[in-house]
Amino acid sequence: MPTVEVGDLKDDDFLLDVREDDEWQAGHAEGALHIPISEFVARYVELTEAAPQDGRVHVICRSGGRSAQVTMYLVQQGIDAVNVDGGMQVWAAAGRPVVDDKGESGFVL
């Protein structure tokens, strides 16, 4: 499973958040693309349209389990994807900004 540490992510890296709507609304990384794992296959084209053509997709969830599943799927599709180790819990613990759906300070649900 290709993985990346939160500390190795750059501000301009493409981030795909696969948590569910309530988790996203409570708090997420600003600029991330949100496609819940429960809707991922049906909304796959949204990812292919938004992701950088020759760039890497960094997949994140709360702790790394769901994002690992999506990462494996993307790798099987030939996409350069990596799982963000520890997910949004580690993201927040590392002091990375978390915003709610209104753009204000959020929290990891």
Q: Which of the following is catalytic: 18, 61, 81, 108?
A: 61
Alpha helices in 27-76 (DSSP H): 44-50, 65-76
**Within a 10 A sphere around the Cβ of 89, how many other Cβ atoms?**
14
Residue 33: phi and psi, rounded to 5, are -90, 135
| Residue 106: active-site member | no
> CB neighbours of 100 closer than 8 A, spacing ≥ 6?
25, 26, 27, 28, 106, 107
Q: Which residues are catalytic?
A: 61
